[in-house]
Amino acid sequence: MIQGKKVVVVLPAYNATQTLERTVAEIDRTIVDEIVLVDDASRDHTAALARRLGIPHVIVHEKNRGYGGNQKTCYQYALELGADIIVMLHPDYQYTPKLLPAMAHLVASGLYPVVLGSRILGGGALKGGMPLYKYIANRFLTALQNILLRAKLSEYHTGYRAYSREVLETLSWQKNSDDFIFDNEFLSQVIYAGYPIGEITCPTHYFPEASSINFTRSVKYGLGILRVTFQHLLGKWGIYQHPRYLLRRTAVSVSPTL
């Protein structure tokens, strides 16, 4: 715990056998109370390895639900465990788990209900092996959303995030996509609701075993960002409020179907 607050790390996993052990080995168990791994119908032995590594909560989807669908199960289960702080960490070792304490402390202190591990701050993205076309797209889309959403983030596309329980209980993240655009939809919701967002410099590692979407899916993701931004603006202009921007009036009570 941190300041009496329960910290739960969630690992949305898919074919992660080659990197899972390295990721779990660097999680600081002195501050992390629980680890939840959701295996999204992997074709390898991710779930079996997770159990051998002693991860206490291993959930397996019988059918692949997508990256966003995986996160939905992660967050539902973390809330069921009584988490006050939820950190989403990819088990592909692209992001270092050594930043978990810093991110969790920023949430626990009450300074930021949402904290992002940014690959752009500190200039580590290209050094870490991010493909040039992804870097350029990252910078362009981030600049566009900062202008249109009136925000000042270094990037919108990191998969390393920490949330307070309040954020997960308030935002309608279950209405988001089950695909990769889930992360961008979630940040759009956070900004729409007026929650402050903290960022911390995060080194990144691109290597063959690390998960990454291909060029075609990257284009689809980019178009999805334009859609999300347009929907966000329609709501702010009072023209049409997408259901994802409706706030939940009471705390969630979840019993995930696993």
How high is the pLDDT of residue 257?
A: 37
How high is the pLDDT of residue 30?
A: 96
Instruction: Pick out the chain residues at pLDDT < 50.
Output: 250-258
List the structure tokens of 111. 């300074």
How high is the pLDDT of residue 208?
A: 59
- Whole-angstrom CA distances from 53 to 35, 57, 114 are 11, 11, 29
pLDDT digits (tens, 9 = 90+) for 73-91: 999 999 999 999 999 999 9
List the structure tokens of 90. 């990819």
DSSP 11: E
CA distance 29 to 33: 7
Q: How many CB atoms lie within 10 A of CB 98?
A: 12
pLDDT digits (tens, 9 = 90+) for 146-189: 999 999 999 999 999 999 999 999 999 999 999 999 999 999 99
Dihedral, CA of residue 217, residue 258, residue 88 and residue 162, to nearest 10: 120
Domain limits of the chain? Answer: 7-241
How high is the pLDDT of residue 128?
A: 78
DSSP three-state, residue 161: strand
pTM: 0.90
How high is the pLDDT of residue 216?
A: 80
Say which CATH class 7-241 falls into: alpha beta
CA distance 97 to 90: 9
How high is the pLDDT of residue 134?
A: 84
Strand partners, 13: 39
DSSP three-state, residue 252: coil
**Helices and strands of the chain, counted as H and E runs:** 9, 7
User: Is 169:188 a contact under the CB 8 Å cutoff?
Assistant: no
Burial (CB < 10 A; 0-12, 13-18, 19+), residue 123, is: exposed
- Whole-angstrom CA distances from 43 to 15, 29, 91, 196 are 6, 29, 15, 39
